[in-house]
Amino acid sequence: MSISRLFSQISGYGDVSNVSTNRKSDTGGLLGLPKIMKEAKKAGKPVLGSWLMFPGASLARMVAQMEYDFILVDCEHGDIADAEMHVSVGAIASNGASPFVRIAAPENYFVKRALDAGAHGILCPMISTVEQAKAVVSYSKFPAMKGHENNGTLSGVRGTGSPFAPAVFGQSQGDYTATANKNTFIAVQIETVEGLENCEEIAKVEGVDMLFIGPNDLASSMGYPPLDNGKIPEVQEAVKRILAATKAAGKYAGMFCLSAEEVRWRFEQGFDLMNLAGDVAALAWWNANELEKLKDLR
């Protein structure tokens, strides 16, 4: 038994041998979310996930078993602290989905904690400038290693040492460090007027894999009611501009969605990755729907 396998068992991450990160396919040795994205692109399919705002490994494990491609752990607006993020990431990975973490802000500490927990990728909110995007990439990448040029050309400032990330990926510490730069997925959110104006240049930043649109904040930044974003022509024109910039740069495009109908719309529009609402929305919708059926009794 390998050290990483032993550690994965005693740390509660379980058997990772059949996790989606380790499926064999023609993806150039990629693991994690980069592999999932490449496979889906080749097959002409969307990458679909769910959003967690409540803490708890049990909840994360349950949702990960629903055959989503990824589960996003929301540490920006969600009620999820650092330790809770750690256990959720492990629970998601051990149940066949890709753990994706939205960090609270584009700061080195938040990037480090998410990736050291074993997140396959990070989603960074409020990226408005090229400089911010480059900083997030640098925080996410280890310094380049001689003899490991196939791990990509980027060299960052990420520190080594976490034993948790290799366990989530089912790798030894050495193998994880040598391959993490190409297996770490970096998504930045465009959700401000400044980010919109700079989206073409942000999309070109090396190491940024995806531009993800936060439609509520984008609408709010443009001076419109955030929840009406889907009905506002100016906001939808902004969405089209960001999508075009992303595709022109050869990057993936992501969008926050609240329904199956919206997922279909955005996929047909050209987006690659969407979420299908999340835990809070599901709880609110089910209760409202069922209570409405009992309105005559109350």
Q: What is the Cα–Cα distance from 58 to 90, expressed in whole angstroms? A: 11
Burial of 14 (0-12, 13-18, 19+ CB in 10 A): middle
Q: Which of 77, 86, 120, 148 is catalytic?
A: 77
Which structure tokens are listed for 227? 């929840």
Q: Which amino acid is at 238?
A: A
Angle between helix 57-64 and 82-93 (nearest 10): 30
Q: Which amino acid is at 251?
A: K
Residue 82, pLDDT score: 97
Specify the residue for token string 């919109």. 196
For 45-144+156-293, which CATH class? alpha beta
The answer to whether 113 and 105 are in contact (CB under 8 A) is: no
Q: Given the DSSP bridges, would you call strands 121-124 and 185-190 parallel, antiparallel or unpaired?
A: parallel
Residue 150, pLDDT score: 62
Which structure tokens are listed for 230? 């889907």
Q: What is the Cα–Cα distance from 85 to 148, expressed in whole angstroms? A: 30
CB count within 10 Å of CB 58 equals 11
Which structure tokens are listed for 258? 């609240």
Q: What's the whole-model pTM score?
A: 0.90
Residue 13, pLDDT score: 44
Which structure tokens are listed for 240? 């089209």
Residue 29, pLDDT score: 84
Q: What is the Cα–Cα distance from 246 to 253, expressed in whole angstroms? A: 6
Alpha helices in 67-124 (DSSP H): 82-93, 108-116
Residue 21, pLDDT score: 44
Q: Please identify every stretch of the chain with a pLDDT value under 50, giving residue numbers as ranges.
A: 1-25
Q: Which amino acid is at 178?
A: A
183 CB-near residues (< 8 Å, 6+ apart): 30, 31, 32, 34, 35, 120, 169
Number of helices (H), then strands (E), belonging to the chain: the values are 14, 8
Decide if 148 is catalytic.
no
Residue 4, pLDDT score: 45
Name the percent of the chain in helix, strand, coil, to the closest 5: 50, 15, 35
